[in-house]
Amino acid sequence: MKKTSNNGHFTDTMVKRFVKMFQCDTARITTACDTHYLILGWFKNTKTEREAGREIGQWYKDGILIDFEYVHEEVVAHGETYDELLADAKHYKKLCKMKWGDYFKKRTWCK
């Protein structure tokens, strides 16, 4: 992967690629201690999550349940370079498509 002279443009291009790759609502790359981290986000609403039977945080004001929108985020990949970050993201994507049985068959300690 070639890094352009305009780092902001390069990062924006990668973020758009990750949003498309993972079909998420948001993506961002953050850097700490010389390592890049890919954070994916999905727009959520407490009312729809509760109706779907998922445990979510509750906020009450004066005894009344307040519903709100939020972004559910997950760190899914990391790398010291953008190439490593992309490779790790592709690996995560591949793992997400696997069933548990397929995953364990690929592990050397399960053969």
pLDDT in tens, 69-88: 999 999 999 999 999 999 99
Q: Which residues of 79-107 are buried (b: 16+ CB within 10 A; e: fewer)?
A: beebeebbebbeebeeeeeeeeeeeeeee
Q: What percent of the chain has pLDDT over 90?
A: 52
DSSP characters over 84-108? HHHHHHHHHHHHHHS-HHHHHHHSG
Output the pTM of the full model.
Answer: 0.76
Instruction: Classify residue 23 by its DSSP letter.
Output: T
